């Protein structure tokens, strides 16, 4: 990873004028691409990543998609054919993915005045410039990502988040575009044409259930949705759908840090209004963020098994440059705010420095599973969970606002991972000394 400016177009160059366009930078087939960074033999061959206990397919390379392997396919159903197809399987390695994610996010953030980390492999960036300059910036981000992280990304650039998501999809599906789609440079008729061919569920925030309800009233494609009456749709469906329609027409109305539901991780990340320079302050931040993430997790009835915590200075700060991040495997899947807070504070505290002006921080929970799905071993149920402190914390916070109740600092237990079968796992190349990649020189 680069540790100073000068390796690529400086963020300051893009941050001088007020951002007027939004870029969505998204890693292509993220889990598979992480595996490929350290194992080049996986390039160009069909690869699938399996869920916990090697149960079912959670990620596919394009080649695996071309074989017709659906997401969620149980591994036992395809394992027999795998050798014939040349299909390679990997157990999910959330330590590797979490660590590469925070590196990728930090690098993306250097290109923009503002950044919103949206999921494990995508962030929104605020960009400014002429259509040609935006196109060049998109290309610059792609090149830097390839050079410094080894991860392939696509960049969608547009006036709104919903359109940036759409542009990213267009870039992904049209390799001839070179990985960057800037809607400003596309003729309107071409955009209309694509929108009239993509099903409405291809729009950010329109899940399959909503899609079915829209189909029932004759809205089948993105173009149909864009043409619908926003007020009518608000009355029939929700204010969220009204905003989506306006965004498709180029009117920005989905604010930063808005929760949307099409994510496989839970992220709570914010830029601070003023830098936090003390360790005590950062502990407080991490503890609040972990609790906020825990609350989102339990609202979604999910448990997390892996956590990445990160902090960073402003990319525009002249002297201070520090972007610590740590990924930890939790002892067992949990949504317990006590356990998550302890993990977040404990994991990051050794990497923070007194006096450094931190400008942002975040907590990302990955390896999610539905709560109550797997039998919890009693030994792993925290005493707090038994006493239902989690629910109490949530209640008090809801009533009196965030920050009204919190948990103190505590150490982090060493993770135990003996319950999980990860037979096809790649090494934790970036987070374990014993598993670093070995380079042979001839």
**What is the contact surface with Mg ion in residues (CB under 5 A)?**
26-27, 30, 121
C-beta of 153 vs 338, nearer to Mg ion: 153
What are the helix (H) ranges across 161-278? 161-173, 188-195, 208-216, 222-227, 230-236, 239-248
C-beta of 109 vs 394, nearer to Mg ion: 109
What are the helix (H) ranges across 206-238? 208-216, 222-227, 230-236
**Token representation of residue 263:** 């994510």
E strands, 96-195, in order: 115-119, 122-127, 153-158, 180-182
C-beta of 110 vs 169, nearer to Mg ion: 169
Rounded to a whole number of angstroms, the minimum distance from the CB of residue 65 to Mg ion is 13
**Token representation of residue 302:** 């999910």
Rounded to a whole number of angstroms, the minimum distance from the CB of residue 260 to Mg ion is 15
C-beta of 30 vs 94, nearer to Mg ion: 30
Helix (H) or strand (E) holding 268: strand 266-276
Rounded to a whole number of angstroms, the minimum distance from the CB of residue 121 to Mg ion is 4
Q: What are the angstrom distances between the C-alpha of 301 and each of 142, 176, 262, 288, 338? A: 36, 41, 15, 20, 17
**Token representation of residue 39:** 């194992």
C-beta of 27 vs 282, nearer to Mg ion: 27
Rounded to a whole number of angstroms, the minimum distance from the CB of residue 152 to Mg ion is 10
Rounded to a whole number of angstroms, the minimum distance from the CB of residue 168 to Mg ion is 9
**Running DSSP on this structure, what letter comes out for residue 69?**
P
Gap between the Cα atoms of 259 and 248, Å rounded: 18
C-beta of 162 vs 397, nearer to Mg ion: 162
Query: What is the DSSP secondary-structure string of 383-403?
Result: HHHHTTHHHHHHHHHHHH-TT
Rounded to a whole number of angstroms, the minimum distance from the CB of residue 27 to Mg ion is 5
C-beta of 160 vs 265, nearer to Mg ion: 265
**Running DSSP on this structure, what letter comes out for residue 211?**
H
Rounded to a whole number of angstroms, the minimum distance from the CB of residue 122 to Mg ion is 6
Rounded to a whole number of angstroms, the minimum distance from the CB of residue 30 to Mg ion is 5
Please say whether the beta carbons of 268 and 365 come within 8 A. Answer: no
C-beta of 181 vs 294, nearer to Mg ion: 181
C-beta of 26 vs 367, nearer to Mg ion: 26
C-beta of 26 vs 35, nearer to Mg ion: 26
Rounded to a whole number of angstroms, the minimum distance from the CB of residue 154 to Mg ion is 8
Rounded to a whole number of angstroms, the minimum distance from the CB of residue 175 to Mg ion is 15
Rounded to 5°, angle at Cα 407 from 405 and 411: 170
Strands 88-91 and 115-119: unpaired
**Please, which contacts does 51-59 make with residues 24 or more away whose CB atoms are closer than 8 Å?**
51/92, 52/92, 52/305, 52/367, 52/369, 52/420, 52/422, 53/420, 53/421, 54/89, 54/91, 54/421, 54/422, 54/423, 54/424, 58/31, 58/92, 58/264, 59/29, 59/30, 59/31, 59/32, 59/92
Per the DSSP assignment, residues forming a β-bridge with 361 are 270, 311
């Amino acid at each position: 990873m680069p540790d100073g400016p000068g390796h690529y177009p400086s963020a300051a160059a893009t941050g001088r004028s007020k951002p007027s366009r939004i870029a969505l930078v998204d890693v292509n087939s993220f889990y598979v691409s992480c595996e490929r960074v350290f194992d080049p033999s996986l390039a160009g061959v069909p690869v699938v990543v399996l869920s916990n206990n090697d149960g079912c397919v959670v990620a596919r390379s394009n080649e695996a998609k071309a074989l017709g392997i659906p997401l969620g396919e149980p591994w036992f159903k395809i394992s027999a054919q795998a050798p014939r197809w040349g299909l390679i399987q990997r157990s999910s390695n959330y330590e590797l993915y979490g660590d590469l994610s925070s590196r990728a996010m930090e690098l993306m953030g250097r290109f923009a005045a503002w950044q919103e980390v949206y999921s494990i492999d995508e962030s929104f960036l605020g960009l400014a410039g002429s259509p040609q300059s935006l196109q060049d910036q998109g290309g610059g981000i792609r090149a830097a990502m390839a050079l410094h992280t080894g991860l392939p990304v696509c960049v969608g650039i547009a006036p709104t988040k919903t359109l940036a998501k759409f542009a990213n999809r267009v870039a992904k599906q049209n390799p001839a575009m070179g990985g960057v789609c800037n809607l400003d440079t596309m003729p309107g008729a071409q955009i209309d044409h694509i929108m009239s061919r993509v099903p409405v569920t291809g729009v950010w925030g329109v899940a399959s259930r909503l899609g079915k309800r829209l189909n029932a009233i004759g809205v089948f494609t993105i173009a149909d949705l864009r043409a619908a009456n926003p007020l009518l749709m608000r009355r029939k469906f929700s204010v969220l759908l009204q905003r989506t329609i306006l965004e498709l027409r180029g009117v920005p109305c989905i604010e930063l840090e808005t929760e949307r539901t099409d994510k496989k991780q839970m992220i709570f990340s914010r830029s601070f209004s003023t830098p936090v320079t003390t360790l005590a302050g950062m502990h407080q931040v991490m503890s609040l963020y972990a609790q906020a993430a825990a609350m989102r997790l339990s609202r979604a009835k999910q448990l997390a098994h892996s956590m990445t915590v990160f902090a960073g200075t402003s990319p525009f700060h002249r002297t201070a440059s520090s972007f610590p991040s740590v990924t930890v495997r939790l002892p067992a899947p949990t949504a317990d705010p006590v356990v998550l807070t302890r993990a977040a504070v404990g994991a990051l505290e050794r990497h923070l420095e007194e006096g450094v002006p931190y400008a942002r921080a975040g907590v990302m929970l990955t390896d999610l599973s539905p709560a109550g799905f797997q039998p919890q071993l009693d030994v792993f149920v925290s005493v707090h969970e038994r006493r239902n402190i989690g629910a109490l914390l949530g209640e008090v916070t809801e009533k009196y606002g965030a920050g009204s109740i919190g948990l103190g600092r505590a150490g982090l237990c060493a993770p135990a991972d003996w319950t999980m079968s990860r037979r096809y796992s790649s090494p934790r190349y970036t987070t374990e000394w014993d598993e670093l990649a070995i380079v042979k020189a001839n």
